[in-house]
Structure 1
Amino acid sequence: MTRLFNEPAAFADEMIEGFVAANSRWVRRVPGGVVRSSGTPQGQVAVVIGGGSGHYPAFGGLVGRGLAAGAAMGNLFASPSAQQVYSVAKAAENGGGVLLTFGNYAGDVLNFAQAQERLLAEGIQCQTVLVTDDISSAAVEEKQKRRGIAGDLTVFKAAGAAAEAGMTLDEVVDVATRANEATRSFGVAFSGCTLPGAAEPLFTVPAGRMAVGLGIHGEPGIDETDVPTADGLAELFVTSLLAELPDGVDEVDGHRAAVVLNGLGSVKYEELFVVYRRIAQLLTERGVVVVEPDVGELVTSFDMAGASLTLFWLDDELERLWTAPADTPAYRKGALEALAPAEAAGEAAAETEAAIAEASPESQQTARAVVAALEAAAAVIDREADELGRIDSIAGDGDHGIGMQRGIRAAVAAAVHAVELGGGAGTVLEQAGDAWADKAGGTSGALWGVILRSIAAELGDDAAGSRDSVARGVTSASDAVMRFGKASVGDKTMVDALVPFAETLRSEIDGGAGLADGWVAAAAAARTAADGTATLLPKMGRARPHAEKSLGTPDAGAHSLALIADAVAQTLTNSKKEEQHG
């Protein structure tokens, strides 16, 4: 379990602060993560990696010459926000364009895509390569749906070495794409990991049993078996990976492969070496030529007891890139001369305070009601955070409660500040949405940012928020979330509660109901729909590979939306009563 922490919600920020203080030779902090302390050389492609915290040495520990130019570092097991990715990419880019590369998880895809759009809009060349190496997470026919696990390292290393060699952005993208296609991984776990402040691990495995096919976010395995001997585990790893060869590898005999035996957090190096002993024997017996293997903790999952094996099938160019020198805090090959730290002044992506538009007194009054609603939402999320984490851990990564807390607290703080500066309802909601998306990260952070900004656009700053403008805003939010998140009703996501909420509110308002009464009815519809997700199988996100495990448990995102809808309904009802008795 995780024993050393202060405030759980602040753990990632404090960890990054300490990491930078201990590794200033290689990295410096920028808003959203870290970049090389020496800077990216003029004209060199900036390979920007990233993901949630809790995977050290991924992702910050892989920033340095010959590997990544920067890493966007999100909250525990949660994607960095679009703002964080953009900020790191802007700080790392130096005229050669940006390659964004990361594991294929829904929140990362959403947030990195938003950052890419922003970079492209500013005229910065930017492309993306997803890592999809985990053979357990989808069939080979749907390998584009696979998640990225320890194969992150092989793709990042090949891309970083290609950039260091002076290749163009298109050439680096080609290398990263080929490296991903040539990489396969398979993992197991003997126990789950425990997030800071949590009383229980995200999943448990009975004594003497082993979860097979795990992810790196505390997701449970897709199967379970007896714990084998070290040799037995080696045979399971090798047999599983040799059963699926990438295109172009028709015969393993004589083919070269880089091998990564990765510890997930609690398995000792000595144990890994015992397992690797047999892996090396088995690969040699099959005629595989092993090239510069790595054994150790490379892409972890907090304190999870587990391991994974990665095979990276090499051609001449990929072998040169795999064996090329690298110098980072946690991963080094060969030798590179030391460089002096670059000047850090004038970061283009530094955080700036958003402007407050002029607002009418009526809109300012609505803005104060918005703050009251957000504060009520924050109170219920604080109360239910542990339960939200428990629900999310059934088939996901258990970070939903912490992520919602970080997001709603940031939203409240931003809203209060905007109201103090005279902001109207539209501006207050917009800034609250931006703060939520930035501080929460992950899928839920991105989607709640979309929700608040969509409602903000309908309310504006010129008039009091009417029941019709609120209903239009919620409908717009529902449409935007489905468009942005690519989910539909029935996929077991937030959408299952949001759509009936929006439809019921619109119907009630059209039928003549006041905002408070209409919202109460809509909140009841959202609650019924959220509870109903317990019978659904997830078709999106990290829970998808563990669909059967989630049966009987509602979707965490739908449940939290219903909680917030109920809290706001109570606030509106209380306000209505005060007006009637005023």
Structure 2
Amino acid sequence: MTRLFNDPAAFADEALEGFAAAHRRWVRPVTGGVVRAAATPAGQVAVVIGGGSGHYPAFSGLVGRGLAHGAAVGNVFASPSAQQIRSVARAAHGGAGVLLMYGNYAGDVLHFGQAAERLAADGVEARTYAVADDISSAAPDESAERRGIAGDLPVFKAAAAAAEQGRSLDEVLRVAERAGARTRSFGIAFSGCTLPGSDHPLFTVPEARMAVGLGIHGEPGIGEEALPTADDAARLLVETLLKELPEDVAAPDGQRAAVVLNGLGSVKYEELFVVYRKVAELLGEAGVEIVDPEVGELVTSFDMAGVSLTLTWLDEGLEALWRAPADTPAYRKGALGTPEPEDDERAPAEDARDTAVPPASDASREAAGTVLAALDAVAGIVEAHVEELGRIDAVAGDGDHGIGMRRGSTAARSAAAEARERGAGAGTVLHRAADAWADRAGGTSGALWGTILRSLGTALGDRDAPAAPRVAEGVTEASAAVRRLGGAEVGDKTMVDVLVPFADALTAATAEGVPLTEAWDRAADAATDAAAATARLLPRKGRARPHAEKSLGTPDAGAHSLALITRAVHGALLNHH
């Protein structure tokens, strides 16, 4: 239970502010996260890590010499936005490029990928690497689909230590890839976590049972077993990991491994030590030599009661990097000598937000009023259904869809209102709303809704009154852009299952010459039917994928929220017709 908070929506920002204030020796705050207190040495690759809040000491607690140069921090269980990542990376950049590292989740993949593109446009060379160590989340032949959990630490550590040695960006990336290919994790839990402001956990485990193969965002496990003794838990963790060795490790006997026994929030250190004594014994019996083990809370999930075990199978090079010293707020190893002086000069500031708006016609400024009304209706319908959206999402996911949609839609409405007050046309109002939604919401839905609004804004522009065919064209482009960005297609149980039929129905109706309000009404009906039909589908994308069967009978949260929004926007169109 998360007990101490103010406004739940401000929790992540306030936690980061407090963290930075408490650890000025190591970090300084920048827009989107934190960077090292001292500037990155000239010519050194900057390793920038990141992800959602709720996992401390990941990610901000791992910023410091010998480890990350910066961390981009998103909202609770939501990836940071591309703009936040870009801001942190620019502040951390030392002139030799940036390696962006994160766990393998759809939202992180989208936002870090977009950030790399923006950095390249800024003249900053950037690479990305997603850690995918959780063996419970996908089969060995689909290892690229696996989640990143506590294996983040040894993989981040290897890349950062390589950067400290002065290696090139491509060499640092190869080290990350090598460490990632040799890292495996597996976890168990005894209770779920509770988000700030919520009165119930994201999932529950029956009395005297444990969930097996859980995620770190409140995703339920892939199965349940009887509550074990500490020794039995250790045996399950070790035996499961020893069944899947890296391709170039023939047998555990004679191998050296970095070992991380990680507490997920409520399992305390004494309990972890009881488990670790058996882990060490079992690995020793299997012929594994343990190198610099770590036992503690390293990648958490608020108050989740659970543990995970990570093995990184070392070669000579990886062992040297694992043993290399580090000095961060939450992770320290060895000695680094004289501390670097704090850098009083701030890194180059990110580009100031341009508050000026481009010129617009009277017709487009008038249409901007309808756009603002529609965005107000969107925020209203999301607020009315925020709990329902979270409940649907928690069936097989992490339960944060409602929270993320609330943050995004509220920010979009505010940004749109500000732009309209400055005389913006419909296209610019939608562009400002798109940026605000993506930046504030983070996560997969933040990236996709930012794409939807931006595509629609580009189609409408600021010159002409938006005719019905132009609106349909914008929605069709949004549908195509979401599929390109997210990689989902109809049938994957995502918002695409609603967006495609909605766009098709709207295009067909406007082609018949039907007025926009009536055409939108028809399309909203198609969206509602399509959203309901997702209850019969198995998810093939996103965090729900490892728990596909659990979602049968429940519609996809993103599809459901999109259908609700299309109907709410129709009401706004009627009122402004």
Please indicate the TM-score interval, normalised by the length of the shorter structure: over 0.9
Please tell me whether residue 21 in structure 1 is matched to residue 58 in structure 2.
Answer: no
TM-score, with structure 1 as normaliser = 0.98
Q: Tell me if the contact between 2:11 and 2:196 (Cα under 8 Å) persists in the aligned partners.
A: yes
Quick one: distance in 2 between partners of 1:346 and 1:175? 27
Quote the offset at 1:208 in angstroms: 0.5
Q: Deviations over 1:4-44 (max 9, x none)?
A: 11111111111111111111111111111111011211111
Q: Which residue of 2 aligns with 1:415?
A: 416
Aligned 8 A contact 1:31 1:351 in 2: no
**2:81 touches 2:443 (CA, 8 Å); kept in 1?**
yes
Query: Cα deviation per residue 1:212-237 (whole Å; 9 max; x = unaligned)?
Result: 00111100000110011000000001
Q: Which amino acid aligns with 1:433?
A: A
Instruction: Report the alpha carbon displacement of residue 574 of structure 1 after superposing the two structures with TM.
Output: 2.2
Per the TM alignment, residue 347 of structure 1 is displaced from its structure 2 partner at its CA by 2.9
Counterparts of 2:343 and 2:194, CA distance in 1: 38
2:376 aligns to what? 375
CA shift, 1:351, in A, is 4.5
CA offsets per residue over residues 394-449 of structure 1, 9 Å max, x none?
11111111111111111111101111111000100011001101111100000001
Looking at structure 1, the residues matched to 430 and 163 of structure 2 have their Cα atoms a distance apart, in angstroms, of 41
Residue 83 (structure 2) aligns with: 83
Residue 571 of structure 1 and its aligned partner are, at CA, apart by: 1.1
Question: Structure 1 residue 350: deviation in Å?
Answer: 5.0
1:412-491 maps to which residues of 2 (within 5 A)? 412-491=413-492
Name 1:579's counterpart in structure 2.
none
Match of 1:53 in 2: 53
| Contact 1:40–1:93 under 8 Å retained in 2 | yes
Q: In 1, Cα distance between the equivalents of 2:38 and 2:235?
A: 43
Moved more, 333-342 or 349-358: 349-358
Instruction: Give yes or no for the alignment of 1:553 onto 2:554.
Output: yes
CA shift, 1:377, in A, is 0.7
**Mapping of residues 330-349 of structure 1, within 5 Å:** 330-336=330-336, 337-345=338-346, 347-349=348-350
Structure 2 CA distance for aligned equivalents of residues 106 and 345 of structure 1? 32
Residue 189 of structure 2 aligns to which amino acid in structure 1?
Answer: A
Q: String of CA shifts for 1:292-346, please: whole Å, max 9, x gaps.
A: 0000000001110000000011111111110110000100001222222213435
What does residue 398 of structure 2 align with? 397
CA deviation digits over 1:48-87, x for unaligned, max 9? 1001110000000000000000111011111111111111
Is contact 1:265–1:303 with CA below 8 Å preserved after alignment? yes
Q: Is the 8 A contact 1:517 1:573 kept in 2?
A: no
Matches within 5 A, 1:2-17: 2-17=2-17
Cα distance in structure 1, aligned partners of 2:128 and 2:425: 38
| Residue 494 in structure 1 maps to residue 492 in structure 2 | no
Per the TM alignment, residue 249 of structure 1 is displaced from its structure 2 partner at its CA by 1.2
Aligned partner of residue 260 in structure 2, secondary structure: strand
Q: Secondary structure at the match of 2:307?
A: strand
On the 8 A contact 2:365/2:425 being kept in 1, the answer is: yes
Determine if contact 2:372/2:416 at 8 Å carries over to the other structure: yes
Partner SS, residue 576 of structure 2: helix
> For 1:129, what is the secondary structure of its paired residue?
strand
d(CA) in 2 for partners of 1:344, 1:132: 37
* 1:580 match: none
Partner of 1:384: 385
SS of residue paired to 2:51:
strand
For residue 285 of structure 2, what is the aligned residue in structure 1?
285
8 Å CA contact retained: 2:39, 2:347: no
State the alpha-carbon separation in 2 of the partners of residues 287 and 341 from structure 1.
Answer: 45
Provide the C-alpha distance between the structure 2 equivalents of 1:362 and 1:573, rounded to a whole number of angstroms. 18
Residues 1:510 and 2:511 are matched in the alignment: yes
Counterparts of 2:38 and 2:69, CA distance in 1? 10
Per-residue CA shift, 1:435-473, capped at 9, x if unaligned? 101111100000001001101111110111111111111
In the alignment, does 2:221 pair up with 1:221? yes
For 1:291, what is the secondary structure of its paired residue?
strand
Structure 2 counterpart of 1:72: 72
Secondary structure (helix, strand or coil) at the match of 2:135 reads coil
The question of whether the paired residues in 2 share the 8 Å contact of 1:31 and 1:350 is answered with no
Aligned mates of 2:448, 2:518 — CA distance in 1: 26
For residues 96-144 of structure 1, give each alpha carbon's deviation from its aligned partner in whole angstroms, at most 9, with x where no partner exists: 1111111110000011000111112232221112101111011111111
Query: Equivalents in 2 of 1:345, 1:65: separation in Å?
Result: 18
Q: Classify 1:326/1:346 alpha carbon distance in 2 versus 1 (closer, same or farther; 3 Å).
A: closer
Q: Report the CA distance between 1:286 and its aligned residue.
A: 1.2
Match of 1:34 in 2: 34
User: CA shift at 1:354, angstroms?
Assistant: 4.5
Provide the rounded CA distance (Å) in 2 between the counterparts of 1:31 and 1:563: 33
Q: Let me know the Cα RMSD of the aligned residues.
A: 1.0
Give the Cα–Cα distance (whole angstroms) in 2 for the partners of residues 477 and 197 of structure 1: 33
- Number of residue pairs aligned between Structure 1 and Structure 2: 576
- Can you give the 5+ residue segments of structure 2 that lack an aligned partner in the other structure? none
1:306 aligned partner: 306
Partners of 1:487 and 1:13 lie apart in 2 by 31
The match for 1:210 is 210
Aligned pairs (5 A) from 1:533-552: 533-552=534-553
CA contact (8 A) 2:32 2:88 kept: yes
Structure-2 separation of matches of 1:155 and 1:368: 49
User: Which residue is 1:146 aligned to?
Assistant: 146
User: 1:188 aligned to 2:185?
Assistant: no
Distance 2:210 2:352 in 1: 45
The aligned amino acid for 1:553 is T
TM-aligned CA deviation for residue 251 of structure 1 = 2.2
Question: Are the aligned partners of 1:30 and 1:350 in contact in 2 as well (CA < 8 Å)?
Answer: no
Match of 2:234? 234
SS in 1 for 2:52: strand
Which residue type is aligned with residue 474 of structure 1? V
Give the residue type in structure 1 aligned to 2:125: Q
Q: Is 2:63 the counterpart of 1:63? A: yes
* Deviation (angstroms), 1:147: 0.8
What secondary structure, in the 3-state scheme, does the structure 2 residue paired with 1:349 have?
coil
Cα pair distance change 1:320/1:16, threshold 3 Å? same
Question: Which piece of structure 1 moves more, 258-267 or 519-528?
Answer: 519-528
- Maintained 8 Å contact 1:256/1:289: yes
TM-score (norm 2): 0.99
Map of 2:568 onto structure 1: 567
Q: CA deviation at 1:483?
A: 1.1
Q: Give how far 1:174 is off.
A: 1.1
Per-residue deviation, 1:240: 0.4
CA contact (8 A) 2:92 2:347 kept: no
CA distance in 2, matches of 1:192, 1:349: 38
Distance 1:169 1:472 in 2: 41
| C-alpha contact 2:91 2:347 (8 A) present in aligned 1 | no
Residue identity opposite 1:160 in structure 2: A
Residue 133 of structure 1 is matched in structure 2 by: 133
Secondary structure of 1:300's partner? coil
Amino acid at match of 2:332: R
Query: How far, CA to CA, are the matches of 2:253 and 2:473 in structure 1?
Result: 63
- Mapping 1:86-97, distance limit 5 Å: 86-97=86-97
